[in-house]
Amino acid sequence: MRFRTEFVVAVLVLAAAPAGAERITYCCNDENGRQTCSDVLPPQCYGRAYREINSQGITLRRVEAPLTPEQRVQREQETRRKREQERLAAEERRQAQALLDAYSSERDIELVRDRVLKDIEKSLAQAQERYQEAAERHKQLSEEMQFYRKKPAPKDLLDAIKENESELRAHGSVVEAKTKEMEAVRAKYDEDKRRYIELIRGRSAGVDPRPR
């Protein structure tokens, strides 16, 4: 009776197996470094990297071991780093294309630069003029204060001096800001020109210098 039962079970198992199904063997290195293989994943392979091998001995798939918390953190950091690199490269490609679309020659860049500088120079000249006027007013007020070296100065004179000093600071700040703005504009268009020449030369040589 027992033999009959085992025979029936074997027949059922064979019937359930797909026709022509390829046998898969699972192999890994255990904690001692010894290779362990079986037609089902051996307990020694749990939590470890393993391979799936067909009957011809060809590795069909490699499964990595589960990551430790530290490894997960490292992988996430590496993923973020790669994404940031890709984002920066894409942005640089966009800027390079925008530069090529904006200008048709180096001379175009110089003309735009000169036009922008001219507008800033005009604002700078106005600020310098106002500063000079405030400086002259400051000189006049200082001379008036000489009459009050040994006695209290009138309130309206003290208020005028205070207001004049505020004007000097304000106009001086504008002059400084416009001067720095001109320097920044020159640097920007110098870099645009340098990059434009690099892109054009790369295109002429059949090499795209834009990041991929």
Domain boundaries, the chain: 103-204
Q: What is the pLDDT along the chain (212 residues), one digit of tens a residue?
A: 433 433 332 333 334 445 456 789 999 998 888 999 999 998 988 888 999 999 888 999 999 888 888 888 898 999 999 999 999 999 999 999 999 999 999 999 999 999 999 999 999 999 999 999 999 999 999 999 998 888 899 999 999 999 999 999 999 999 999 999 999 999 999 999 999 999 999 877 655 554 55
Give me the residues paired with residue 28 across strands.
36
Identify whether the C-beta of residue 195 lies closer than 8 Å to the C-beta of residue 188. no
Write down the pTM of the prediction: 0.57
160: its two tokens: 């005028």
CA separation for the pair 64, 51 (Å, rounded): 9
For residue 115, how many other CB atoms are within 10 A of its CB?
Answer: 9
CA separation for the pair 158, 136 (Å, rounded): 17
